[in-house]
Amino acid sequence: MSTTADLPRLLCVDDEPNVLDALQRTLMDDYDVTTAASGAAGLECVQRRGPFAVVVSDMRMPNMDGAEFLAKVRAAAPDTVRVLLTGQASVAAAVQAVNGGGIFRFLLKPASEEALQGALRDAVQQYRLVTAERDLLENTLKQTVEVLTEVLSMASPLAFDHARRLNTYAQYALRRLAWAAHWEYEVAILLSQIGYITAPVETLERSFSGQALTADERQMMRRLPGVASELVARIPRLDRVAAIISGAQGARTSHDPIVVRGVKLLAIVSEFDRLLHLGRTPAQAIESLRARSHEDRLVDALVGFGDRTDGQEVVVVRRTELDTTMAFVGDVVANNGITIVRAGSSVTPLMLRRLENFAEGVGLPETFEVFRRS
């Protein structure tokens, strides 16, 4: 026997209580049914009690009709499948609802139980297909990004830690901005530094610490986001991410709001990091950004960063005690004199594997001094 938790979640919206009662009785055995007596109440349910697999709405309701309501549902919960019930056999109303709300089914009242159940079965199947594809895509991309960032951590620990810092600032800001599509912004931040694996370590060290670069080095550094963008653009579904990476250096413009926001976010957190490395406190860096940037909302989203201690302590551990909450205080030098990890590098699973290989080969020190986040 199925429990309510196992059933597809369905929201029914109608201004007539008797209609809602009838829908509840008819559908309660097959669905976890929630009801709302107006478009406004329905939107509150979507925002506070979602996600719903399907929303069924009446067309004619006071203050907010079904077409307007379902268009707002589409904006708030694009995965939710939308079904419209109406007593109006108006072609104009149908066209408005379908175009504005992305309606999956349009049923005339009174709809038979068989027609309603059939439409809902199809709607639930559509919801499952959409969410399964999205989950597969996001999981695949997540694994791809993790692999690329692991490679970056080995090839250029400086660039990896720079990307990690930028991502820390971005995550802090995004929690306060409440933007959708967080994963695209975060992936763009993390992969924005992948082109830096082609740059000499000495140049990166001077660049990240705010030291002067030669004219040739400045030209090289300006090219690196384009290198990253070209690499990322080869991965399916990361077009926006590639555009964000290149756009942050003025190499590309876009009318896509996600790309525009991402470009601005990457530029702001990059400048924030530069100012911190010049010795500014977070509060001083924010004041400097306010004076030079027109992106007040983005700058405001960084207010308060660093107010609390980051909870790091320095400890000495054996290789077998290393974990991903740690970062190395100094360079890690193998027994043959080769530096295999730079100071400040975070410990990653791939790095642990590399340390194990060096320990079994040429040998490593017995202990390491590390920062550990509490």
Give 51-62 pLDDT, tens digit per residue.
999 999 998 899
Here the CATH number for the domain that contains residue 56 is 3.40.50.2300
pLDDT on residue 251: 42
Residue 27's pLDDT is what? 94
Does a structural domain hold residue 225?
yes
One domain, residues 313 and 303? no
Q: Is residue 179 part of a domain?
A: yes
Q: What would the two tokens of residue 149 be? A: 């960032």
Amino acid identity of residue 70, one-letter, is L
What pLDDT score does 256 carry? 83
pLDDT tens for the 374 residues of the chain, in order: 456 668 999 999 999 999 999 999 999 999 999 999 999 999 999 999 989 999 999 988 999 988 889 989 988 898 899 999 887 655 566 666 665 567 888 888 888 899 999 999 999 999 998 888 777 766 777 777 777 777 777 777 778 878 888 888 898 899 888 786 678 888 899 889 888 888 888 888 788 777 788 999 999 988 888 888 998 888 877 888 999 998 865 444 567 888 999 999 999 999 998 888 787 888 899 999 999 888 889 999 999 887 644 456 788 999 999 988 888 877 788 898 887 877 667 788 878 888 898 998 889 999 998 888 65
Q: Do 78 and 181 reside in the same domain of the chain?
A: no
Asked if residue 171 and residue 95 are part of one domain, the reply reads no
Q: For position 98, what pLDDT does the model report?
A: 64
Predicted confidence at residue 1, as pLDDT, reads 46
Specify the pTM. Answer: 0.56
Expressed as residue numbers, the domain containing 48 is 4-131
Residues 229 and 109 in one domain: no
Co-location of 108 and 169 in the same domain: no
Task: Let me know whether 298 and 371 are in one domain.
Answer: no
Count of the separate structural domains present in the chain: 3
> In this prediction, what percent of the chain has a pLDDT beyond 90?
33
Q: Let me know whether 303 and 321 are in one domain.
A: no
Over residues 157-192, the pLDDT tens digits come to 778 878 888 888 898 899 888 786 678 888 899 889
Instruction: Please check whether residue 136 lies inside any domain of the structure.
Output: no
On whether residue 291 sits in a domain, the answer given is yes
For residue 147, tell me if it sits in a domain: no
pLDDT score for 12: 97
**Is the same domain home to 123 and 229?**
no
Q: State the CATH number of the domain containing residue 244.
A: 1.10.3210.10
Residue 172 shares a structural domain with residue 304: yes
Q: Do 264 and 339 share a domain, yes or no?
A: no
